[in-house]
Amino acid sequence: MSTNTNNNGLPNIDDLQNLANELFRTLPNEFPKEISLSPDKSEHPRATKIAETILQAGNLGNTAPIPAQDPLNIQPNPNSFSGFGATPTIANYSNTGASALYPNAGAGFDPQSGVTTSGVQEDYNLNINNPHTGFHDSNLKNGASPQLTEDSFFSQLLLNNQYLPFQTENSSFEIELQAALATVDTQFKKRDISPLNGNGPGNNYYFLDQNPFAFDKKSPSPIVGNTFGSKEIGAITGTNFNAELIKKDFPILRETVNGKPLVWFDNAATTQKPQSVIDRIAYFYEHENSNIHRAAHELAARASDAYEAAREKVKTFLNAGSVNEIVFVRGATEGINLVAQSWGDHNLVAGDEIIVSNLEHHANIVPWKRLADKKGLKLRVIPVDDDGQILLDEYAKLLNPKTRLVAFTQVSNALGTVTPAKKIVEMAHSAGAKVLIDGAQSVSHMKVDVQDLNPDWLVFSGHKLFGPTGIGALYGKEDLLNEMEPYQAGGNMIQDVTFEEIKYHKAPNRFEAGTGNIADAIGLGAAIDYVTKLGIEAIGQYEHYLLEYATKLLKEIPGVRLIGTAKDKASVLSFNLQGYSNDQVGQALNKEGVAVRTGHHCAQPILRRMGVETTVRPSLAFYNTTQDVDTFIKTLWELKKVRF
Ligand code: PLP
């Protein structure tokens, strides 16, 4: 790319802007994807700052003063709401953070540095024992515009590396820029994956600094408990959890939506995938692809080993007693249907009772309702209180000798309620009933130990656990699985076939008829490796903090009705905003790059119990940050200012 110069010997403004934007587009989302040298078009706070610096220093074709502008685009507050002052100006830029946005944020706002609650820098580590320390945000930290002379224009602009990740020492900014682009390319695009020869991917993963695939080898698994937390990995040390660093392992989180960095708050619907999962699936197709179990050749052995290694990972993740207790299915829905058809249809008779809770996803209602209708069973429902919490005493009243099954969710996808799963299982067993836990919303947020919880079955979906779609697992107690009728019939699940008689395999093969989703099972294994390395307890702790942070700020917005206020919650914040339809709120958030789900969330009974048909539902995961929450909250405040 050539660069023209103007009369002052300075580069042409369009060239400069193009070059800068070319760089920005390759950078993580904390950098603007685009800057415009027209001040009124620069919306990203850093873009505003960069444009301002360029124009001030170089006076490139625009002599108009930069209008006083709040980089967070906050307008004066409504009178009813104390804490908003006059319209912020560039001079008080640094004071437009949390205190203005969240007047009640109190201790979280540092008046000296002028940083938001989420903006206090502490070596990129968030101390979750001290939630008022937070993430690096040099943009908010540095309020004043640098004073630049014309001579030092480029070096200062680029040297001012709170905005740009590289420096120039002298004249040739284009060379420097191209050099920087080359580095960025290497960092984000090139990776060396060689799982089978044991070579690690170098520093290509921010978190997985060892070979993420080495665990597939038959030799003893390096995952023994939680080996994570060492300095080398760096993102978690002790109680510090660095979501900013984790985010970088998820390429899609570098996307922009409507010119804004993507904030993925639709984790209850599906989660994003780390690079290691994407690479693992690609590696399978590049080096291992074969059908499993039915050949003597090398690739069949590789594919079978990788597939069975993934089963082992699921077993370890759930702390199941044996790999024979882990059946690969398409997801939670298929797992529940499998149990309903292969156990329920063959074991339940008219008059038997099935209990579900009011919180259930349709996936844990419809199969049971259909079975009940077909066989004359009675479907009974555990009620919840107004906060969306299971009423255990009412549950106790439902249990009786006819109760054959209790099927319930460990975390509600619509409200976020965490149910007292262990207690519910114990009570069901004491009534002689079997228990199925729907773990679709729990496994990504908390330790799920099937030996401790003791359900007869538990299901989850890989795509909600940072793995691929189309794969999930059914855990079942081994003896019980072996007593159950096959679900589907065909190849793979039989020991012997004649036209007179068929002998089935034992579990898990008994339930894996036909060619399964081999690559994605292996991808799920890689996702479990990733989560295991972060540490599920650390994840739970961090997310708890984030949920509290978001809940507090959401509740402060007038007209917000939070739906689901259980004491024990995970990930989900369902709400309505007075004056707006849920879709309008969803669309406004989407404009700011924030992805939330609106609708009934496939859980109509619980929403109707709470008096609504639909909600707006942000749902959090470990790669979300307080800064993401700030963007979300700020957008709701903006909506409030227009209609209230
Ligand atoms: N159960 C719960 C609690 C869910 O949230 C979901 C999906 O949102 C499901 C079951 C169904 O999962 P899948 O569609 O992956 O089978």
Tens digits of residue pLDDT in 245-281: 999 999 999 999 999 999 999 999 999 999 999 999 9
Residue 616 sits at φ, ψ, to 5 deg, of: -95, 135
**DSSP β-bridge partners for residue 476:** 457
DSSP string, 458-503: EEEEGGGGTS-TT-EEEEE-HHHHHHSPPSS-SSSSEEEE-SS-EE
Greater confidence (18 vs 398) lies with 398
Confidence at residue 643, expressed as pLDDT on a 0 to 100 scale: 79
490-504 confidence digits (pLDDT tens): 999 999 999 999 999
Confidence of residue 522 (pLDDT cuts 50, 70, 90): very high
Confidence at residue 26, expressed as pLDDT on a 0 to 100 scale: 63
Q: Is the CB of 331 under 6 A from ligand 1?
A: yes
What tokens appear for 49 in the block?
A: 């700052």
- State the Cα angle at 193 between 191 and 194, rounded to 5°: 150
Confidence of residue 579 (pLDDT cuts 50, 70, 90): very high
Residue 332 sits at φ, ψ, to 5 deg, of: -60, -40
Q: How many helices and strands (H and E) does the chain possess?
A: 21, 19
In the DSSP assignment, the letter for residue 147 is P
Residue 415 CB contacts under 8 Å (≥ 6 apart), including other chains: 359, 388, 563, 564, 566, 569, 572, 574, 606, 610
Given a cut of 70, whether residue 144 has pLDDT beyond it is no
By mean pLDDT, which of 31-35, 414-418, 437-441, 482-486 is the weakest?
Answer: 31-35
| Mean pLDDT value of segment 146-165 | 33
Confidence of residue 18 (pLDDT cuts 50, 70, 90): confident
Confidence at residue 295, expressed as pLDDT on a 0 to 100 scale: 80
Given a cut of 60, whether residue 299 has pLDDT beyond it is yes
- State the Cα angle at 511 between 509 and 512, rounded to 5°: 65
Question: In ligand 1, which atom is closest to the CA atom of 412?
Answer: 3
Given a cut of 90, whether residue 130 has pLDDT beyond it is no
Given a cut of 90, whether residue 73 has pLDDT beyond it is no
Distance 229 CA to ligand 1 centre (A): 31
By mean pLDDT, which of 191-195, 309-313, 407-411, 617-621 is the weakest?
Answer: 191-195
Confidence of residue 618 (pLDDT cuts 50, 70, 90): very high
Given a cut of 70, whether residue 16 has pLDDT beyond it is no
187-191 contacts, C-beta under 8 A, 24 or more apart: 188/26, 188/251, 188/254, 191/275, 191/279
Q: Is the CB of 267 under 6 A from ligand 1?
A: no
Residue 93 CB contacts under 8 Å (≥ 6 apart), including other chains: 70, 71, 114, 143, 144
By mean pLDDT, which of 17-31, 131-145, 408-422 is the weakest?
Answer: 131-145
Confidence of residue 5 (pLDDT cuts 50, 70, 90): low
Residue 160 CB contacts under 8 Å (≥ 6 apart), including other chains: 53, 146
Question: Ligand 1: which of 600, 602, 615, 617 to mutate, most ligand atoms within 8 Å of CB?
Answer: 602
Q: How many CA atoms lie within 13 A of 292 on its CB side?
A: 22
Q: What is the pTM of this model?
A: 0.69
Distance 440 CA to ligand 1 centre (A): 5
Residue 563 sits at φ, ψ, to 5 deg, of: -115, 110
The protein residue with its alpha carbon nearest to ligand 1, atom 14, reads 333
Distance CA 220, CA 215 (A): 8
Closest by CA to 12, choosing from 156, 173, 184, is 173
Residue 217 sits at φ, ψ, to 5 deg, of: -70, 155
**C-beta atoms surrounding 360 within 10 Å:** 25
Greater confidence (1 vs 115) lies with 1
Question: Ligand 1: which of 413, 457, 465, 604 to mutate, most ligand atoms within 8 Å of CB?
Answer: 413
Which residues are catalytically annotated?
A: 602
Q: Is the CB of 336 under 6 A from ligand 1?
A: no
Distance 361 CA to ligand 1 centre (A): 7
| Mean pLDDT value of segment 23-46 | 54
Given a cut of 80, whether residue 565 has pLDDT beyond it is yes
Question: In ligand 1, which atom is closest to the CA atom of 464?
Answer: 15
What single letter denotes the amino acid at residue 61? G
In the DSSP assignment, the letter for residue 105 is G
The percent of residues above 90 in pLDDT, for the chain, comes to 61
Residue 3 CB contacts under 8 Å (≥ 6 apart), including other chains: 11, 12, 15, 16, 19, 174
Q: Is the CB of 361 under 6 A from ligand 1?
A: yes
Cβ-contact 322, 307 below 8 angstroms: no
351-378 confidence digits (pLDDT tens): 999 999 999 999 999 999 999 999 999 9
What single letter denotes the amino acid at residue 346? H
Distance 576 CA to ligand 1 centre (A): 22
Question: Ligand 1: which of 266, 361, 469 to mutate, most ligand atoms within 8 Å of CB?
Answer: 361
Distance 76 CA to ligand 1 centre (A): 42
Confidence at residue 1, expressed as pLDDT on a 0 to 100 scale: 43
Confidence at residue 32, expressed as pLDDT on a 0 to 100 scale: 55
Distance 330 CA to ligand 1 centre (A): 11
Per-residue burial over 27-41, b if 16 or more Cβ lie within 10 Å, else e, is bbbbbbbbbbbebee
Q: Is the CB of 440 under 6 A from ligand 1?
A: yes
Given a cut of 50, whether residue 74 has pLDDT beyond it is no
Question: In ligand 1, which atom is closest to the CA atom of 461?
Answer: 15
Distance CA 564, CA 414 (A): 8
Question: Ligand 1: which of 357, 419, 438, 446 to mutate, most ligand atoms within 8 Å of CB?
Answer: 438
Distance 414 CA to ligand 1 centre (A): 11
Helices within 129-172 (DSSP H only): 138-141, 153-159
Q: Is the CB of 333 under 6 A from ligand 1?
A: yes
Distance 280 CA to ligand 1 centre (A): 24
As a whole number, the mean pLDDT across the chain is 75
- 3-state SS, 419-454, equals CCHHHHHHHHHHCCCEEEEECCCCCCCCCCCHHHHC
| Mean pLDDT value of segment 593-601 | 97
By mean pLDDT, which of 293-302, 401-410, 439-448 is the weakest?
Answer: 293-302
Instruction: Quote the radius of gyration of the chain (alpha carbons, Å).
Output: 27
Q: How many CA atoms lie within 13 A of 471 on its CB side?
A: 26
Confidence at residue 22, expressed as pLDDT on a 0 to 100 scale: 72
Residue 373 CB contacts under 8 Å (≥ 6 apart), including other chains: none
C-alpha dist (Å) from residue 500 to 487, 497, 504: 20, 8, 14
Confidence at residue 133, expressed as pLDDT on a 0 to 100 scale: 23
**C-beta atoms surrounding 106 within 10 Å:** 11
Q: Is the CB of 444 under 6 A from ligand 1?
A: no
Confidence at residue 198, expressed as pLDDT on a 0 to 100 scale: 33
Residue that the structure tokens 């706002």 belong to: 109
Q: Is the CB of 288 under 6 A from ligand 1?
A: no
What single letter denotes the amino acid at residue 277? V
Domains of the chain from N-terminus onward:
1-125+146-190 (no CATH), 209-265+535-643 (3.90.1150.10), 278-533 (3.40.640.10)
What single letter denotes the amino acid at residue 557? I
- State the Cα angle at 90 between 88 and 92, rounded to 5°: 60
Confidence at residue 272, expressed as pLDDT on a 0 to 100 scale: 98
Residue 429 CB contacts under 8 Å (≥ 6 apart), including other chains: 435, 454
